A and B are shown apart, each in its own frame.
Chain A
Amino acid sequence: MVRYKSSSRRLFEIGNYAVLALISVLCFFPIVHILAISFSSSSAATAGKVGLWPVGFNMKSYSFVISQPAFLKSLGVTLQRLLLGVPINMLLGVLAAYSLSKETKDFRFRTVYVWLFVLTMLFGGGLIPTYMIVMKTGLLDSIWGLVIPSAVNVFNVVLILNFFRGLPKELLEASFMDGANHWKTLMRIVIPVSLPVLATVTLFTVVFHWNEWFSGLIYMNSPQKYPLQSYMQTVIVNKDFTRLSVANLTLLAEVSDRTVKAAQIFLGTLPILLVYPFIQRYFMGGIVMGSVKE
């Protein structure tokens, strides 16, 4: 490209960098602010003196949060959910994606199956009928209620499927030539060459199970069985406003223990921050998640 810079161009570039820097800072800044509050003293936080750096640095809020049995209990539920949910999601997804990635001439029912999966993206029974089915299948109040109903993510299946379809045909043909069947081909050829994409989908599933709070809220009858985000939903967000007059609402905002909430928010964010660099690498590579495809 021809490099010719006029002064107006230079002005634009400076402005452009400034605007983008401002946007990114604004985007990330609330999280840093919350982090600063969580490490600040209670008095500084309630007086609103904290900006981007802790005032009266201490870790009391964290030790308070961690000493809460309910918090630890819900963290345990989330870990259990991850250990069960992620492998099940991946297993079902990879198996389905492999068989749906075949050409119609090799697998005559493919089109029927694909449509059965895809239709669920376009239409659903809605909240109440889904709740009824979960109840009828006996999953209310059980850890499986958080795992089984969401065990198949059609979006992920389509993503893996598209990747499998893009693999060189010769690779699979060679495997069949050597007498391998579908199972062997999947295990020894397809999965090993698809590890990067499978790793990414796994991380997405981890993020999904970590973040999902609604099914915990409605399918679990006792708060002891809430996963972390459902627990956080009830303690951080869900203040019962119904019995308060408007005059008291302002008061409520003041008595809330800001640093403890901030600590909980940050603890809920931390695992995402940890896996984020690995997920993000995938987008930088230019592959677009389940999006535009030829």
Chain B
Amino acid sequence: MLKLMKKELPLHLMVWPALVIVLIYSYGPMLGIVIAFQKYVPAMGFFKSKWVGWDNFEYLLHLPNIWQVVGNTIYISAMKIIAGLIVPIVVALLLNEVRIHAFKRSVQTLVYLPHFLSWVILGGIVVDLLSPSTGLVNQLISWFGGKPIFFVSNNHWFPFILVSTDIWKEFGFSTIVYLAALTSINPALYEAAVMDGANRMRQTWHITLPGLLPVIILMATLSLGNVLNAGFDQVFNLYSPVVYQSGDILDTLVYRLGLIDYQYSVATAVGLLKSIVSLIFMAGSYVLAYRFANYRIF
């Protein structure tokens, strides 16, 4: 027994530095959730602040805009999830038909790039492109005889701006999974289909798509875990009070409640509810992914 301990000692030592960080900065905050049930005052700390039970939750349910924010969050993230599934699949299928290798590589190089840029950068670019006076998009609109639209300050347009710019950033990178799955489809299936007289359309329908189906189901179920993640970084860098009505989401609300208005306990309560709902969705989607795609992350 002692010998075994000694043998395993170095392995423990190797895990612990990382584990300490995770215990403090990931598990520490989980304990810190207690402040959702307190009237937290930083000077009093976690232990001396007054317990208030469910008061913070009751308070947040009566925030005037809370349901609007929940609605925005689900609306924006649902659109992102749907578009984020369809666009990469279509592009991957199109790329799969490309026979010129250099062309395929160039396309991939260009469309993967935005994924690696931060929303600070992309937000700056988007705001410039959509500017009502000098932005290229509005110049095009004027050129066609339309009226300039102040997209990022317009409640009608703002959610669509969020979805389309999110697609811009992520669709290329998301094709990777599908392209990898496409390479694993057995070429013999296509040869057999050609023998049977199937054209390319039918080959795509009867071989390629069924071959992709497990990955599609997998990505769809996993993305369910994101129903309450409408994309803090993006919204934060594009929104303004003018578009709170259509663009304020749970994460930005938590930020403002907590770090601008210093309502630490209420903000934590909102965050906690969000984490719990997300956890339920995520656990559910893992079960689904396991059922239908036989997928396990570990």
**Pick from A123, A182, A218, A289: contact of B259, CB under 8 Å:** A218
Q: Is B118 a contact partner of A30 (Cβ separation < 8 A)? A: no
Known: A20-B98, A21-B107. A253 touches B132 (CB 8 A): yes
Chain B interface size range: 35 or more
Partner of A129, one of B21, B32, B113, B136: B32
Cα–Cα distance between A258 and B135 once the two chains are bound (Å): 10
B61-69, B74-82, B233-241: which lies at the interface: B233-241
Which A residues are in CB contact (< 8 Å) with B21?
92, 148-149, 151-152
List chain B residues, Cβ under 8 A from A51: 136
Partner of B19, one of A16, A19, A96, A246: A96
Q: Is B211's beta carbon under 8 Å from chain A?
A: no
B177 pairs with A120, CB closer than 8 A: no
The one of A92, A100, A125, A268 in contact with B120, judged by C-beta atoms closer than 8 angstroms, is A268
Say yes or no: is A73 at the interface (Cβ < 8 Å to chain B): no
Query: Of the 9-residue stretches A64-72, A102-110, A166-174, which lies at the interface with chain B?
Result: A102-110
Interface status of A177 (Cβ within 8 A of chain B):
no
Q: Collect the chain B residues with CB atoms within 8 Å of residue A135's CB.
A: 42
Residues of A within 8 A of B11 (CB): 99, 102, 106-107, 182
Residues of A within 8 A of B35 (CB): 128-129, 132
Among residues 1 to 46 in chain B, which have CB atoms less than 8 Å away from a CB atom of chain A? Answer: 8, 10-12, 14-15, 17-19, 21-33, 35, 42, 46
Contact, CB under 8 Å: A33 / B30: no
A46 touches B (CB below 8 Å): yes
Confirm or deny: A242 has a beta carbon within 8 angstroms of a beta carbon on chain B. Answer: yes
Chain B stretch 196-243: residues in CB contact (< 8 A) with chain A = 199-200, 215, 218, 232-233, 236-238, 240-242
B57 at the binding interface (Cβ < 8 Å): no
Contact B121 A265, beta carbon cutoff 8 Å: yes
Shortest distance between the CB of A212 and any CB in chain B (Å):
8
Chain B nearest Cβ from A294, distance in angstroms? 10
In the complex, which residue of chain A has the Cβ closest to the Cβ of B282? A122
For residue B190, CB closer than 8 A to chain A, the reply is yes
- With A24-B111, A288-B180 known as contacts, the answer to whether A31 contacts B125 (CB < 8 A) is yes
Q: Which residues of A contact B31 (CB under 8 A)?
A: 125, 129
B271 touches A127 (CB 8 A): yes
Tell me if A's interface is mostly helix, strand, loop or mixed: helix
Are B136 and A33 neighbours in the complex by a CB distance under 8 Å?
A: yes
Is A195 interfacial (CB-CB < 8 Å)?
Answer: no
State whether A96 touches B191 (Cβ < 8 A): no
CA distance A149 to B110 in the complex (A): 33
Bound CA–CA A31/B129 (angstroms):
10
Using a CB-CB cutoff of 8 Å, which residues 40-88 of chain A contact chain B?
45-48, 51
- Counting chain B CB atoms within 10 Å of each CB, the highest count among A46, A107, A128 belongs to A128
Q: B254 — which chain A residues lie within 8 A by C-beta?
A: 126-128
Q: Write the chain B residue with the least CB distance to A157.
A: B18
Contacting residues, chain A, for B275 (C-beta < 8 A): 123-126
- In A222-257, the 8 Å CB interface with B consists of 229, 232-233, 236-237, 239, 241-242, 246, 249-250, 253-254
Chain A residues contacting B12 (CB-CB under 8 Å) are: 99, 109
- A128 engages B14 (CB within 8 Å): no
Q: Which residues of B contact A130 (CB under 8 A)?
A: 25, 29, 32
Task: Map CB proximity to A onto B115-157 as digits: 1 under 8 Å, 0 otherwise.
Answer: 0111011011111110111111001000000000010010000
Most buried by B among A12, A24, A125, A212: A125
Chain A residues with Cβ under 8 A from B258's Cβ? 127-128, 131
Give chain B residues whose Cβ lies under 8 Å from the Cβ of A109.
Answer: 8, 12
Query: Do A288 and B107 touch across chains, with their CB atoms under 8 A apart?
Result: no
Given A126-B254, A128-B271, A253-B132: A133 touches B25 (CB 8 Å cut-off): yes
Cα distance A148–B264 when bound, in Å? 23
Is B290 interfacial (CB-CB < 8 Å)? no
Across the interface, do B18 and A92 meet the contact criterion of CB distance under 8 Å? yes
What residue of chain B has the Cβ atom nearest to residue A129's Cβ?
B32
- A23 and B111 form a contact (CB under 8 A): yes
Select one of B22, B111, B150, B272 contacting A126, CB under 8 A.
B272
- The yes or no answer to A181 lying at the interface (CB within 8 A) is yes
Bound form: Cα–Cα A116–B21 in Å: 12
Q: Is the CB of A236 within 8 A of B18?
A: no
Top-5 shortest CB links A-B = A125-B29, A129-B32, A126-B271, A211-B118, A129-B29
Apart from the given pairs A99-B10, A129-B35, 9 other A-B contacts in the complex at a CB distance below 8 Å: A2-B191, A16-B94, A125-B33, A132-B35, A157-B18, A183-B10, A236-B123, A249-B153, A293-B297
Q: List residues of A whose CB falls within 8 A of some B CB.
A: 1-2, 6, 9, 12-13, 16-17, 19-21, 23-25, 27-28, 30-31, 33-34, 37, 45-48, 51, 91-93, 95-96, 98-100, 102, 106-109, 113-114, 116-118, 120, 122-135, 137, 148-152, 154, 157-158, 181-183, 186, 207, 211-214, 218, 229, 232-233, 236-237, 239, 241-242, 246, 249-250, 253-254, 258, 261-262, 264-265, 268-269, 272-273, 276, 279-280, 283-284, 286, 288-289, 291-293
- Return 22 A-B CB contacts under 8 Å, by A number: A27-B110, A28-B110, A99-B12, A122-B279, A125-B26, A126-B274, A127-B255, A127-B259, A129-B29, A130-B29, A132-B46, A137-B24, A157-B18, A207-B116, A211-B121, A214-B233, A237-B238, A241-B242, A246-B153, A250-B133, A258-B128, A292-B177
